[in-house]
Amino acid sequence: MAEIIVPILTPFKGNKIDKEILKEHASSLLKAGVDRIFVNGTTGMGPALSREEKETTLRAVMEVTEKVIFQIGGLNMDDVKYLAKLAKDLSVKTVASYAPYYFTGLPRWLIIKYFKEICEIHDEVYLYNYPSAVGKDVDAETVSEIGCIKGVKDTNDSINHSLQYKKIPNMKVFNGADTLVMTAISTGLDGTVSAAANFVPDVLVNIRERVLKADIGSAMRLQFMVDELVSTAKGFGYIPSIYVLTKELMGYDVGEPRPVLFPLNESQSMELLNKTREIFEKYSWSKK
In the complex, least distance from residue 238 CB atom to ligand ELE, rounded to whole angstroms: 5
Q: Which of 114, 128, 130, 238 is catalytic?
A: 128
| 11 makes contact with ligand ELE (CB under 6 A) | no
| 34 makes contact with ligand ELE (CB under 6 A) | no
Pick 218 or 279: Cβ nearer ligand ELE: 279
CA distance 266 to 214: 42
Please select the residue that binds ligand ELE; options are 21, 34, 173, 195, rule is CB under 6 A.
Answer: 195
| 193 makes contact with ligand ELE (CB under 6 A) | yes
In sequence order, which residues have a C-beta less than 8 Å from that of residue 109 and are 6 or more positions away?
none
Encode burial over 91-123: b for 16+ CB neighbours within 10 A, e otherwise: ebebbbbbbbbeeeebeeeebbebbeebbebbe
| 238 makes contact with ligand ELE (CB under 6 A) | yes
| 155 makes contact with ligand ELE (CB under 6 A) | yes
Reduce the DSSP state of residue 154 to 3 states and report it: strand
Respond yes or no: is residue 243 known to be catalytic: no
Q: Which stretch binds ligand ELE (CB under 6 A): 19-27, 41-49, 198-206, 272-280?
A: 41-49
Task: Judge whether 43 is annotated as a binding position.
Answer: yes
CA distance 265 to 248: 15
Q: Which of 153, 238, 243, 247 is catalytic?
A: 153
State the alpha helices, DSSP H only, in the chain: 19-31, 51-62, 77-89, 108-119, 131-134, 140-146, 159-165, 181-186, 201-212, 216-236, 238-250, 266-282
Kindly compute the dihedral angle of the four CA atoms of residues 268, 285, 224, 261, in this order, to the nearest 10 degrees.
30
CA distance 247 to 250: 6
Respond yes or no: is residue 153 known to be catalytic: yes
Residues 202-231 that bind ligand ELE (CB under 6 A): none
Residues in the chain: 288
**Binding map of ligand ELE across residues 114-133, x = CB under 6 A, - = no contact:** ----------------x-x-
Pick 114 or 130: Cβ nearer ligand ELE: 130
Catalytic residues: 128, 153
Residues that bind ligand ELE (CB under 6 A): 7, 38, 41-43, 130, 132, 153, 155, 176-177, 193, 195, 238
Binding site as annotated, residues = 43, 193
